[in-house]
Structure 1
Amino acid sequence: MSDDDLTEAAAAIRRGEAVVYPTETVYGMGADATNPDAIEHVFEIKGRSRDKPLSAGFPDVDAALEYVVADETEEAFMRRFLPGPVTVVVERRDTLSDVLVDGRRRVGVRVPDHELARDLFRAAETPVTATSANRSGTGSITHPSQLSDEIRDAVAVVLDGGTTPGTESTVVDPGRGVVHRRGAMADEIEAWLEAND
């Protein structure tokens, strides 16, 4: 994996194409989360139903707060657990495409605890879709060698970061105190929610 690969992947995202990148959980599929056509392309590649929202990835919490609205509790939660294997559900601003979340007001925010993923998001200079790099209904990808030919052919660049742990992120709505999916750090997250209720 070279700097050229990263530059090429970021340029592909800006052009509206999709790329595959590693995170601290599984491999993700990234496209410009403000571009409806790019998001549609991700849904098509994955064979994913449009009513299953995609999350948006950011290099840091401050970058995320430019695209979402977080109250005091939500921001405190984000600053405590991000970067990390957590998807934080908060209200989106209109700069994130309706297509991302099927018109819903809330969106999942990811700031991966993975340097290469965050470098990609920074270089792309736009929020990037954060969804697993697999066809819907099939297992998550923990190494580029597991990518289907179908996905490999459909994306512009695959960033190889070696093997990822494979544990899914915990999906949590801290403003409502709801854990939608238990994954990495779930016990710690639930303890925080209880303490800050």
Structure 2
Amino acid sequence: MFFSRKYQHTSNVNNPSIISILEVSAASTAANLLFEGKVIAIPTDTIYGIAASTQNNYGLKKLYEIKKRDLNKPLSICVSDTSEIKLWGETSHLNERLLEDLLPGPVTIVLKRKGLLNSFVNPNTDLIGIRIPNTNFVQALSRLCTVPIALTSANISFEQSPIEINDFIHLWPKLDAIFDGGVISNSPLQRAGSTVVDLSEPGHYNIIREGNRNILNFLLLTDAKLYCVRVVRPPNYRTEEKNW
């Protein structure tokens, strides 16, 4: 059975509750917190992220404040299933099979946003990055929320990406809860995060950031007969500022 190894920190009144994702009520507790406008930390399939509800402007504002993030730098959103992507991003030019091949998994797809998405989310761009992390906890949380979750890495820009909750201990006092999934991976490539692929233009793709599943992503995009506009160099995961 999983037990949080960080329980000793919870006695500090300035620190949030730390909840194992294996607790039966973990996903519902997280969903209720997001509904209330709280900001929480959650493990994804790549790194730990901090999350807020896309329908709660107070929570979104707090998320930006925690990250010390410029409003011009976009957030990604998280949904539970590929069938939901078309509600928030324009997919009419894409083969549905491609989306199903890429997601769930360590990929963020960038699309032209639809009007249904809260205008407070990424107000200065007509694009939106969409994720479906390949974890039972995050997918269950997304289903319970019924609206997308705003998601960004649990660090300050240019800091090392976190693969366990002690990696962002300096952010704990600013969070309302931490959902602990242990160490996500010990692989040195894990901190690269998700691969970010811009699919907003018909017939083309642009790899904005290479993550930890690049070869498979490239083969899937090539098989879909999309023309590559640009592929970036692999990131220095310790210093790169992750815009999505």
Tell me, yes or no, whether TM beats 0.5. Answer: yes
Per-residue deviation, 1:74 = 5.7
Q: CA deviation at 1:188?
A: 2.0
Q: Which residue of 2 aligns with 1:188?
A: 216
- The alpha-carbon deviation at position 158 of structure 1 amounts to 0.8
Structure 2 equivalent of residue 154 of structure 1:
174
**Larger CA deviation: 158-167 vs 67-76:** 67-76
**Equivalent residue for 1:63?**
84
| Equivalent residue number for residue 124 of structure 2 | 103
Asked if structure 2 preserves the Cα contact closer than 8 Å seen for 1:144 and 1:162, the reply is yes
Higher-Rg structure is 2
Contact 2:50–2:154 (CA<8 Å) still a contact in 1?
yes
Offset, 1:98: 2.7
Identity among equivalent positions (%) equals 27
Deviates more, 1:153-162 or 1:108-117: 153-162
Picking from 17, 23, 37, the partner of 2:38 is 17
Once the two structures are overlaid, the 10-residue window that deviates more, 98-107 or 136-145, is 98-107
The answer to whether the Cα contact below 8 Å between 2:107 and 2:194 also exists between their aligned partners in 1 is yes
Structure 2 residue aligned with 1:121: 142
Tell me how far apart the structure 1 counterparts of residues 147 and 94 of structure 2 sit (CA, whole Å): 25
CA separation of 1:158/1:74 partners in 2, compared to 1, >3 Å: closer, same or farther?
farther
Report if the CA contact (8 A) 1:29-1:42 is conserved.
yes
Q: Give the whole-Å Cα distance in 2 for the aligned partners of 1:74 and 1:44.
A: 37
Residue segments in structure 1 that go unaligned for 5+ positions in a row: none
Please identify runs of 4+ aligned residues in structure 1 that moved more than 4 A. Answer: none
User: What is the alpha-carbon distance in structure 2 between the residues aligned to residue 106 and residue 75 of structure 1?
Assistant: 19
The residue number in structure 2 matching 1:87 is 108
Whether contact under 8 Å (1:98, 1:104) holds in the other structure is no
SS state at 1:21 partner: strand
Secondary structure of 1:171's counterpart equals strand
Aligned to 2:8: none
**138-147 vs 81-90, which deviates more?**
138-147
TM-score, normalised with respect to structure 2: 0.75
Tell which deviates more after alignment, 176-185 or 22-31: 176-185
2:158 to 125, 137, 149: 137
Would you say the 8 A contact 2:87–2:116 is kept in 1? no
Distance 1:184 1:110, change over 3 A: same
Bigger relative CO (Cα 8 Å, ≥ 6 apart): 1
1:15-68: CA deviations, max 9, x gaps?
Answer: 111111111100011101233332121110011111110000011111232222
Tell me how large the CA RMSD over aligned residues is.
1.7
Cα deviation for residue 86 of structure 1 reads: 0.1
Contact 1:133 1:147 in 2 (8 A): yes
Give, as a single letter, the amino acid of the residue that structure 2 aligns with 1:192: L
Change (3 A) 1:80 1:16: same
Query: Matched residue of 1:17: which SS?
Result: coil
Give 2:207's aligned amino acid: V
User: How far apart in 1 are the matches of 2:104 and 2:165?
Assistant: 23
Q: Give the number of the structure whose residues are more often helix, by fraction.
A: 1
Distance 1:5 1:117 in 2: 10
